[in-house]
Amino acid sequence: MYRLTTRTRAGTATEIAVLVLVVAGLALPAVTSRGVIQDLFFILTMLTLAQIWNLLAGYGGLVSVGQQAFVGIGAYAMFAGVILLGWNPVVAILLGGLAALALAVPTAFFAFRLQGAYFAIGTWVIAEVMRLLIAQWKALGGGTGTSLPREATSNIMGTDAIRALFGVREAAARDILAYWLALALVVAVTACIYCLLRSRLGLALAAVRDNVGAAQSVGVNAGRLKWAVFLIAAAATGLTGALIFVQTARISPEAAFAVTDWTAYVIFIVVIGGIGTIEGPIVGVLVFFVLRSALADYGSWYLMTLGLAAIAVMLFAPKGLWGLISARSGLHLFPVRRRLAGPNIKGGD
């Protein structure tokens, strides 16, 4: 009996490897330093943002350069929950996701009336407007920002258990908790995107990206699909932003709505790794972290090197580093393409 499937031997092996890595990642704080945990937190949160942007641009055709709006509003909503409502910071992270979702509704209403480059510029303008508005919020520090209260950071849910388990100080326990939450978030986001792309909705999304008119001609509701993807991406970005600023415990409009940190670097990661693939952002974030670690002390040369690296990849490997690897090896760790399987058909890698 013949059937359409996305499962391959390489995909099954990847699922097992990911499970092993997640278990190892949970136990890692017992054998490594606080500095490594902080580096891994940075990698995981940037990977989460990159996977979300890749879903928007690589699969949905929505090239947004205003994702910092959702990072910022998610972070500020978390701070508002802690400072103004007295919530525990971990619980207030959820408020960040809800606030970003709420902001995404009017953002999509206006931005979806624009196409191509105008859409990208429109999202950036909305993010800048949000930054200016938040800078007027005096209860949360206005333009200079504020910090989480000492009583909030010293009573974060779960840190007492971590201190008892690993025998670490309060600050290290907060870093471990933030790392575990980042690990859970990146696994959840990547798994949801993977399942989405393997479903019928994934096929519809790819069809809308490639040709809206053709997709609509076969019954795909392009508008509704784009709305859904944009709202989901905004909520996930808001959650990530809230988590990032739980770990830093300090916020300001310039930091929370930084286009370089939360959009430019994310786009670099996706372009370098390979847009339109789940593996691409994983490769891209590792390359970005290595470059950042090696060149961050060189000021403007660091940014110039990132720009030159992006240009070189776009010229010589238009599908990114993972696209180059995949083309030469035929390897797909997260296969989403459907193939015909049957008794006389060999499974692919």
For 285-333, what is each residue's pLDDT tens digit?
Answer: 999 999 999 987 887 888 889 999 999 999 999 999 999 999 998 888 9
6-26 pLDDT, tens digit per residue, is 778 888 899 999 999 999 999
Distance CA 191, CA 160 (A): 30
Maximal C-alpha separation, the chain: 69
97-106 pLDDT, tens digit per residue, is 999 999 999 9
Q: Determine how many CB atoms are found less than 10 A away from the CB of residue 124.
A: 18
Cβ atoms of residues 283 and 270 within 8 Å: no
Tell me the residue type at 14: T
Q: Determine how many CB atoms are found less than 10 A away from the CB of residue 212.
A: 17
pTM beyond cutoff 0.85: yes
Distance CA 125, CA 119 (A): 10
Cβ atoms of residues 206 and 337 within 8 Å: no
Task: Give me the half-sphere count of Cα atoms (radius 13 Å) on the Cβ side of residue 132.
Answer: 6
**343 pLDDT band (50/70/90 cuts)?**
low
